Amino acid sequence: MSQTQRATRATFRTLGRVAPPLALALGAAAYWRVGTPAPVREADRAVHDAARRTRLAHRTTFGRGRDVRAGSGREVAVTAYTWGDPDARGVLLVHGWRSRASAFGRIIEDLTGAGLRAVAYDAPGHGASGGRQRTGLDDLTIIRRLSDAESAPWAGVIGHSLGVLSAGIALHEGIRAERFTAISGISSVRVTTDGFVRAAGIPWALRDRFATTAQRYGLPDQPDVYARFDLTARTVPATVPALWVHDAGDRMNPHVLSERLHEAHAASSELFTTTGLGHNQILGDLAVRARILDHLAAPASA
C-alpha cells in the first residue's frame, strides 16, 4: 500500500467517526470516478490496431436526474471494435473496471483463429471512449445495441471482472447467446460498494449508508439498482451454459464470488479454478484460453 493510500484510508477513518455525512459524500464521489483510462499494452498493440472500429453515440446514465453540471445524461462517443470474418458467428466481450477491450488480446486471437468474429467495446470513461463515469446501465444499453445488430444469437458472451456482472444481467434480461464465460467475475453491485468501503477505510458501521449514498449520487432515479444487478438472484438462463473462471489467489475479486455464482447456476455451469494467475494475468493463460474455446465448441446438449 502506498503512502497516499495509507493517508486516504486514515482520512476516511477519521471522517467516518467525526463527520460521517462528509465521509459518505466524498466516498460516493470517489466510488464513481474511473480515473485515467488504461493504455493499450504493447502485448495487445497488434490486436488493437487490427480492429475495425465503429463510433457509437451514447447518452450516459450517470447522475440522471441530478443538476446537468454534474454530467447528467451526457452524450459521449463509445468506441466499438470488431475482428475476424464479417460473416462469421459473433462473440461479445465485455471488459472490467479501468480496463479496455484490448485487454482480451490473446482471447481475441484465439476466437478469430477458430473462425469466429470478436466484438468488443471500450465502456464510457475507458479506453478510447468518452465520458468520465461508467455504470452497469451504460453497459446494458451498449450490449443491447450491439446485440440488435446481430442477425443471430451470439455464439458466446465473455466477461471479465465487472464485465461479468453487466454481461450476465444482459443475458438474464433477454440478450440471446449460446454460451457464457465469466472470468474473475463479481456477483453483485453490493460487492463493489462493500469492496470500496474496505479499501477506502470507511468504517464498516457505515456500510449500508454508503451503499445508499453511492446509489443516490450516481443513479438517483434507479432505486432498484442493487436488486437488479445481482447475478446470484437474477441468473443467466439455464439454456445458456456458463463457465466460471477464477484464480484462487485473486486479490481484487475473491474466488468465493465465482463459487457463489456457480452454485446459483448449478444446473448449467462449470467452475474452472486456476492458481498463481491473479486477476488480470488469467486473461492470457494458455490453459484458460483453451478451456474457453472448448466451452464455446461444446455441443448444445452438453
The dihedral built from the CA positions of residue 30, 34, 39 and 45, taken in this order, carries a sign that is: positive
**Edge-to-edge strands, sheet with 180-183:** 52-59, 75-83, 117-121, 90-94, 156-160, 180-183, 242-247, 269-274
Interval 82-125: pLDDT, tens: 999 999 999 999 999 999 999 999 999 999 999 999 999 999 99
Which pLDDT belongs to residue 246?
Answer: 98
- Taking every pair of Cα atoms in the chain, the longest distance, rounded to a whole number of angstroms, is 61
Q: Cα dist. 297→91, 116, 275 in Å?
A: 12, 11, 25
Which pLDDT belongs to residue 4?
Answer: 73
What residue segments make up the domains of the chain, in order of their start?
A: 1-31+190-221, 44-188+229-297
3-state secondary structure (DSSP) of residue 69: helix
Looking at residue 129, what DSSP letter applies?
-
Q: pLDDT grade, residue 300 (50/70/90)? A: low
Q: Which grid coordinates are listed for 118?
A: 470478436
CATH of span 44-188+229-297: 3.40.50.1820
Number of neighbouring beta carbons within 10 Å of residue 172: 17
Q: Strand pairing of 117-121 and 242-247?
A: unpaired
- Cite the beta strand spans of the chain per DSSP E: 52-59, 75-83, 90-94, 117-121, 156-160, 180-183, 242-247, 269-274
pLDDT exceeds cutoff 50 at 67: no
Q: Give the residue from 296, 299, 231, 283 showing the smallest Cα distance to 101.
A: 283
Helix (H) or strand (E) holding 145: helix 136-148
- The average pLDDT across 223-245 equals 96
Q: pLDDT grade, residue 69 (50/70/90)? A: very low
Spatial neighbors of 107 by CB under 8 A, at least 6 apart, are 93, 118, 158, 283, 289, 292
pLDDT exceeds cutoff 70 at 15: yes
Tell me the DSSP string of 72-125: TT-EEEEEEEEES-TTSPEEEEE--TT--GGGGHHHHHHHHHTT-EEEEEPPTT
Which pLDDT belongs to residue 299?
Answer: 67
This model's pTM is above 0.85: yes
